[in-house]
Chain A
Amino acid sequence: DTAVSQTPKYLVTQMGNDKSIKCEQNLGHDTMYWYKQDSKKFLKIMFSYNNKELIINETVPNRFSPKSPDKAHLNLHINSLELGDSAVYFCASSQATSGPYEQYFGPGTRLTVT
């Protein structure tokens, strides 16, 4: 069983479209994250949820909206996609928000905006 899964794995779309990426973890973790990894491999945190509650909201455009229907799921919706949104988006989970708990990453969603 995959611990952290994301769908889709690849997403190719045109500018201006709206798209969603889904993430699920079966580890029983309380905390989930969304990261954006650019072409230079720089990993930037976007959002963090703890038990369905938003706790970290980095400076990302309002076009990005996370939703956590329950603590096992964290979805990312992106409105009005732009070329600069092209990146790999990783979902991750951890047992808690702080402490000696590593993050478990999903396989990533490669988003290409044309």
Chain B
Amino acid sequence: AQSVSQHNHHVILSEAASLELGCNYSYGGTVNLFWYVQYPGQHLQLLLKYFSGDPLVKGIKGFEAEFIKSKFSFNLRKPSVQWSDTAEYFCAVNANWGYQKVTFGIGTKLQVIP
């Protein structure tokens, strides 16, 4: 069965600081990887996804993530955070075939201080 680990549960940063949120997954086959964001009081929205090709993917609002297959990792980065990035961030993985559920990590709460 697949699983997702997010190591940082609560991150506090000042505006303009750089961000890196860790995500590791375990699954033996080909996977698709996602980062979702949930702003306070809102639903989850897709930030970016990886399924093939360039392992460095760019998403909305200046976010990017790098897939490192050898490390089973898909870390999320942003060079300079803003107060409006305060939100919960979820890493997710699904298999590339069959009836497979998407597995979400437990989420990382990011708090950006003005």
Interface residues of A (CB under 8 A from B): 40-43, 45, 48, 50, 55-56, 90, 92, 94, 97-103, 105-108
Q: Is the CB of A105 within 8 A of B43?
A: yes
CB closest chain-A residue, reference B100: A98
Q: Is the CB of B99 within 8 A of A98?
A: yes
Q: Is the CB of A45 within 8 A of B102?
A: yes
A-B pair number, CB within 8 angstroms: 62
Interface residues of B (CB under 8 A from A): 32, 34, 36, 38, 42-46, 49, 51-52, 88, 90, 94-102, 104, 106-107, 109
Q: Could you say which of A40, A48, A99 contacts B51, with CB atoms under 8 Å apart?
A: A99
Given known pairs A43-B107, A90-B44, the reply for A100 and B49 (CB within 8 Å) is yes
Q: Is the CB of B101 within 8 A of A100?
A: no
Q: Could you say which of A45, A55, A90, A98 contacts B95, with CB atoms under 8 Å apart?
A: A98
Residues of A within 8 A of B38 (CB): 41
Q: Is the CB of A98 within 8 A of B106?
A: no
Residues of A within 8 A of B42 (CB): 107
5 tightest A-B CB contacts, nearest first = A100-B51, A105-B43, A102-B46, A105-B44, A43-B104
A-B CB contact pairs (8 Å), 18 listed: A41-B38, A41-B107, A43-B104, A45-B104, A55-B99, A90-B43, A97-B99, A98-B32, A98-B96, A100-B32, A100-B51, A100-B52, A100-B96, A102-B34, A103-B44, A103-B46, A105-B45, A107-B42
Q: Could you say which of B32, B97, B106 contacts A42, with CB atoms under 8 Å apart?
A: B106
State the Cβ distance, B107 to closest chain A Cβ, in Å. 5
Given known pairs A43-B90, A45-B101, the reply for A99 and B96 (CB within 8 Å) is yes
Given known pairs A41-B88, A43-B104, A90-B43, the reply for A102 and B49 (CB within 8 Å) is yes
State the Cβ distance, B101 to closest chain A Cβ, in Å. 5
CB closest chain-A residue, reference B105: A43
Residues of A within 8 A of B104 (CB): 43, 45
CB closest chain-A residue, reference B38: A41
In whole angstroms, what is the CA distance A19 to B104 when docked? 27
